[in-house]
Structure 1
C-alpha cells in the first residue's frame, strides 16, 4: 500500500521559497510509493499548483491572507485547528514550515502517524522549543543548523539533516538562454536574491566601490528586487559605479546570467542553506560566501570557492584574492566538473525519499 503523506505549510505561492522547495520534493517522490497531500493554510495560488505533478492532492484551507490574520488564527485552540485543517488519516504528517504548521503537527491527535518537522532557516531563541521534542524527527536543511539545534536543545530533539532537492535539468536548460549584457569586462561576479538587509547587498556594493578605488577592473551583476533596491540604485549612482555594477532587477531566469559569470557571491548576514549557491554550483560556477549556515558545507562538498567571515573586510579580502589570482577560477571550475554531482536531484532526492520510505 502507498504511504499517505501530508505536508502542511503557510502559503503555496511563487513568492514563498519554502513552497518552491516543497514542489521539488513532492515531484521527486515516487507516486507508486506515496500518496501525497499538501495543505496550505493561507494563500494558495492556482497557477503555482500547476508546477506540481497531477497525482499530488491540494487541500485548500483559507485561500487568502491579510495582515494580522495569522494572529487571529493562532489564538484558536491548537487541537481544534489540527482537527479542522489536517484531521485526515495519514501515515506521515509533516510540518513543512515554522509557525502554525509546526504547532499543529506537534499537537497531532493521530497516534498512528509519524510526525516530522522541517526547519528551513533557524528558529532563533527556539521560540517553539517545547514543540520540537514532540516530533519523531526534526529535519534541518544544513548540517550546521542540525548540529546547532541538537546543541541548543540539549539533545532533547531527534534532529537530522535533509538538503533541499534541486532539479538541475531545469536549471541547465534555462542557463542556455541568451543574454544581452556585456561580458567583456572580466572577471564577472554575480549575486542573486531579495534585496533586503539580511542579504548584505549594500555592503557588497561598498566592497566593490573600495576595490574599484584600489584599481581593480571587473563586473558585478546584481539580480533581484526588494526593500533596498532604491538604496542600491542611489549608492551605485553616488559612487559612480555604473560601469562596474549592473542592477538587472528581477529576472524570471537568473540562471542564464549565473552560468556566464565567473564567481557567484553570497554576501548574506544569515541563511538557512543557500539554494542560490547550490544552483550556481550545479551550473559549474564557484562560490564565495560569507560564513552563514551551510556555507562551509557547500564549499567542502564542492571542493571549490571559499568562505569568508561575516564582516566587510573579510568579504573584501575574498574578492581581492580572486582578482589577484584569477587562475584560481579555472582550478575551481575544473573541480566542479565532478563535485557538482553531489548537489543534483539524484543524490539528494534519494536521501529525501528514504526518509519517507523507511520511516519505521
Structure 2
C-alpha cells in the first residue's frame, strides 16, 4: 500500500467566517487515499466546530467559551487559565509538539496569516505551506503588512486566494513569490441552493438588499448605512439585511438608532444557514473596502440574485462588470449610484440574472481540489 502523505492543518477556532468555510471544504474534499489529515484546533470554539469531518483526526488544545462555566467568576478564571496555557505553548513549540501533537508530518499548513508564526516555529522537518487571502493594499499598518509578506517568503510554498492578492504585493512592495500559485476557493453552489430552501424568510419592506460578512470596519457597513439613509430620504423605499456578527455590531446598532433606520437596516447577526435570507432578498450588495476572493459572491450568483459589489481584491476575477453584476468603488457616492441603479432599472438587473445562469460555470471545484492535491504532492516529493 503506497505511503499516505501526512498533513497537519492548524487553526485557532471555528467561528463563522470565510477562511473557516474554505478550511472545512478542504478538510472534506482532499482525497483520503492520498492524504492522512490531522487538524489541530487551538481552541475548540465556534459555530462551525461541529462541521469538522469526523474521519480526520482532531486535536484540540483548550476548550471554547461554549464549554465553560455559566458562573461569571469561574468563567473569568477559566479564561485566564486558558490564556496562560495558550501563551506557554505558543512560546514553547517543541513542548507543544512533544506533549500535545505527538506525531510527525510531511506537510504543515497555515490556512491564514494568524497561523504563520505557529507553522514556521514548528520543530518538524516538514514542508510548510501558507494560504494568503488578504488584500494588503487596504491595510494602513505597514509594519503588520511587512511582517506578513516577509513571513510568506519563509514558507516552502504559498497559495494565494486570487491573482490580485499576489499582484498587489508586487506592485506596492516589489516582492515576488516564485514559489507560489493561485488557487481560487471552491464554491459549493449546489449545496447553497439546497440550504436556501430550508426555511422561509419574510421581509417587511421590499425591495431588499441582502449582504453577508463579518462586521469589521473594512467591510464598510457604516458607509452602506449612510447610503441606505440617503436613498430612503430621496424616496427610494427599500431595506437592507446584513448577515454577520463581529466587533462593529454595537457601533452599527448605535448608528442605526441615530439615523432612525433600525426597522429597515436589519442586523441579523451570524447565521449557521444564511442562504434563505439571501434567496428571499431581491438584490445583494457587498460594500467592502478589501476582499480576496469572497465565496459569498459565487454563492449569491448561484442563487441568481443580482449583485452590486465594490471593485476590490479578486472580485473582478468573479464578476464581469455590467455583464453578470455591477462593480463600484468602495466609497459612499459610488455605492449610492450602484444601488440607485438597481432600484430604478429592472431591465439591467434582469440582464444580470440571465447572464449569471451561465457565469456560475466558471466555479469549477474539481479543478481546485486537483490543484491543491498537486501542490501537496510536489512538496512531499521535494521533502525527500
Distance 1:255 1:73, change over 3 A: same
Which of 281, 285, 302 pairs up with 1:261?
281
Distance 1:229 1:75, change over 3 A: closer
Give the aligned partner of residue 53 of structure 1.
Answer: 53
| Aligned 8 A contact 2:110 2:119 in 1 | yes
2 CA distance for matches of 1:267 and 1:242? 19
Post-superposition CA distance 1:320-340 (Å, at most 9, x none) = 222232211111111111111
Of the structure 1 ranges 237-246 and 127-136, higher mean CA displacement relative to structure 2 is found in 237-246
Give the aligned partner of residue 340 of structure 1.
Answer: 360
Give the aligned partner of residue 88 of structure 1.
Answer: 103
Give the aligned partner of residue 105 of structure 1.
Answer: 119
Give the aligned partner of residue 119 of structure 1.
Answer: 132
Give the aligned partner of residue 72 of structure 2.
Answer: none
Q: In the TM superposition, what is the alpha-carbon distance from 1:316 to its structure 2 partner?
A: 0.9
Distance 1:182 1:352, change over 3 A: same
Give the aligned partner of residue 37 of structure 1.
Answer: 38
Q: Does 2:11 match 1:19? A: no
User: TM-score, with normalisation over the residues of structure 1?
Assistant: 0.85
Give the aligned partner of residue 195 of structure 1.
Answer: 215
Q: In the TM superposition, what is the alpha-carbon distance from 1:90 to its structure 2 partner?
A: 2.2
CA RMSD of aligned residues (A): 3.1
Give the aligned partner of residue 167 of structure 2.
Answer: 147
Q: In the TM superposition, what is the alpha-carbon distance from 1:207 to its structure 2 partner?
A: 0.4
For 2:320, what is the secondary structure of its paired residue? Answer: helix
2 CA distance for matches of 1:245 and 1:315? 16
| Aligned 8 A contact 2:132 2:158 in 1 | yes
Give the aligned partner of residue 167 of structure 1.
Answer: 188
Of the structure 1 ranges 125-134 and 137-146, higher mean CA displacement relative to structure 2 is found in 125-134
Q: In the TM superposition, what is the alpha-carbon distance from 1:246 to its structure 2 partner?
A: 3.5
2 CA distance for matches of 1:118 and 1:79? 23
Distance 1:212 1:345, change over 3 A: same
Q: What 5-or-longer segments of structure 2 have no aligned partner?
A: 66-78, 137-143
| Aligned 8 A contact 2:323 2:351 in 1 | no
1 CA distance for matches of 2:315 and 2:85? 32
Judging by fraction of residues, say which structure has more helix. 2
For 1:134, what is the secondary structure of its paired residue? Answer: coil
2 CA distance for matches of 1:62 and 1:131? 26
Q: Does 2:87 match 1:72? A: yes
Give the aligned partner of residue 71 of structure 2.
Answer: none
Of the structure 1 ranges 74-83 and 288-297, higher mean CA displacement relative to structure 2 is found in 74-83
| Aligned 8 A contact 1:222 1:245 in 2 | yes
User: What is the aligned length?
Assistant: 355
2 CA distance for matches of 1:120 and 1:82? 27
2 CA distance for matches of 1:281 and 1:136? 35
Query: Where does 1:232-311 land on structure 2 (aligned, <5 Å)?
Result: 232-241=252-261, 244-300=264-320, 303-311=323-331
Q: Does 2:17 match 1:3? A: no
Give the aligned partner of residue 351 of structure 2.
Answer: 331
Q: What 5-or-longer segments of structure 1 have no aligned partner?
A: none
